[in-house]
Amino acid sequence: MSRPNYGFGSRPSGPATQLDTEGAAQAINMVISQVATPDANTVITALSQLDEVLQSEERCSQLAPHVDQLLIVATLQYRLVLNTKMATPTVNKEECIRIYRSLTNCLMMIFTNKMLGTRATKDVLRDVVHVLIHILLDPRLTQLEDGPQIIRAINVLVVRIVEKAQFTHVFSALLKLLHESVGSGGNCKFTELVMKCNWKVIRILPSRSNDLDLDQILLDVHNFLIAYPLSSWSDRPSDTPLRTIKTVIHTLCKTYGTTILSHFSKIENAHGSELHKYLTKTLKKPKSEEDCGAGDSNRLAAAQVTNESQESIKSPKRLSKSAHNTLSEIFRKIGSKENTKEGLIQLYDFKQKHPEADIEPFLRKSSQFFQNYIERGLKRVEMERQADGKMVSSPSTENGSNSGPLASIQVQDTANFNMNDVIDQFKSIAAIAGFDNTYIDTAVKDICSTEKNGAGEISEFIKNMSSEIVEQNKEQFTSNDQ
């Protein structure tokens, strides 16, 4: 069965150009709205139609004004699967995999296309990365046959977003995520992955300095230091988030030099702030001393993101003598053929008990092959522990509830499609999910957006579609995915 294209695949020509443009915008809005439904076949069919558009450079331009709208709806669907479908025993988990795969493929194509990827705004990027990290941390996914494949794909997608999105937007979004994760005092694994994303941004910052709104990034760093002053970190179990912010400051100073002091336009009373003091102090350091401080911080970031750096880095927290001796004994066991498995289990338990401990100095003494072997061994232990935990506890969700806030979404009858009903439903669900009114209003505006010259509500456009196309669409949306 051929897929309906709603008219947005044809090339505008002649006197009907304006009408075709308006029709394409309305049709794209309708297809995007189908991505939010709980019916897997409807979602996958809609994403397949969008994939066809994304594969054509000429037709991609029609999708450009709708990027935020599509990402918002994709985030909603990711959360529906994560919080509701994955937690519902009666739902076929292969359905979850199919939706994850289609969504991830669609977003990968968006961020591969520069014209589209750079359209995503800061708050939308923040929400996308937020849900993707929660999916990466979902232990239930590793238990599914194709789960590891989905995890790898989402890992690649997160890196693609960091590298290809508009640089200021993605940098600001990641700093905001770090700010929020520290404030929530929640999942340390989540915070760790957020920091790794920030470290990736730090590594590419010097090559993307021309794309950066420095005033905005300084505002984000300033807000972090206001919320979590330098003096407040002595009582925290780990100061790595603060060190990440310091790495940002050092890298900005190294990249922009003294010109950075003229970029405080978005900060009130900047000259009395901790940020200004720290910037001034960093800029006054002799070059050799500055390189040492910033270099150590940058090597911390690089070593955590990849294994490329073999240079010496300062441990996040100094180990006690007993802890150091324990680690030495553990690594001796790992190096022993008879006790390798026992050593890996003990190393995993040690890392769980001391998440702030830096084992890099121990790893540097071994070959790259052995380092990779240890990393794979720790992952196997983690998967075994997660499998054991699944037998005695209920699966977790993004918001800690097994009944997600999106469970009430109803499939829309395509033949009687009414966008106003979808909007009302979206507002209700988003409010239950905890989004504030400003965010909901912005999301609704994005969902309802059309081409600049477009006119009329989507519901009117659907009502005026010919009965032949409506029946064709209804048949397609209610059929199984081919």
- Report CA torsion sign: 476, 480, 481, 482: negative
Residues 233-265: tens digit of each pLDDT: 988 888 999 999 999 999 999 999 999 999 999
**Tens-digit pLDDT profile for residues 61-114:** 889 999 999 999 999 999 999 999 999 999 999 999 999 999 999 999 999 999
Distance (Å, whole) CA 285 – CA 290: 6
Could you tell me if 110 and 54 are in contact, meaning their C-beta atoms sit under 8 angstroms apart?
A: yes
Q: Which residues contact 28 (CB under 8 A, 6 or more apart)?
A: 6, 8, 53, 62, 63, 66
Tokens of 186: 């929640």
Close Cβ partners of 465 (under 8 Å, ≥ 6 residues apart)? none
What is the residue whose two structure tokens read 């989507």? 458
Output the six-digit token pair for 166.
């508009």
Alpha helices in 257-320 (DSSP H): 274-284, 287-305
Name the 3-class secondary structure at 245: helix
Rounded to whole angstroms, how far apart are CA atoms 431 and 80?
15
Distance of CA 178 to the CA centre of its chain: 12
> What is residue 436's predicted lDDT score, i.e. its pLDDT?
62
Separation of alpha carbons 172 and 185, rounded Å: 20
User: 401 falls in which pLDDT band (50, 70, 90)?
Assistant: very low
Q: Measured between alpha carbons, how far is 377 from 331 in angstroms, rounded to an integer?
A: 13
What pLDDT was estimated at residue 48? Answer: 94
Q: Cα(107)–Cα(2) distance, rounded to whole angstroms? A: 23
Radius of gyration of the chain (CA): 25
Per-residue pLDDT reduced to its tens digit, 116-159: 999 999 999 999 999 999 999 999 999 999 999 999 999 999 99
Question: From its phi and psi, is residue 185 left (phi > 0), alpha (psi between -120 and 50) or beta?
Answer: left
| Spatial separation of the C-alpha atoms in residues 47 and 71, rounded to whole Å | 12
CA–CA distances in Å: residue 38 to residues 41, 98, 140, 447? 9, 13, 20, 17
Could you give the CA distance from residue 334 to residue 332 in angstroms, rounded to a whole number? 5
Q: What is the model's pTM?
A: 0.62
73's CB contacts (< 8 A; 6+ apart) are 32, 33, 35, 36, 447
Q: Is the pLDDT of residue 197 over 60?
A: yes
| 298-322 pLDDT, tens digit each | 444 444 433 333 332 233 455 677 7
Q: What are the C-alpha distances in Å from 465 to residues 91, 298, 460, 482?
A: 34, 57, 9, 25
For residues 386 and 139, the answer to whether their CB atoms sit within 8 Å is yes
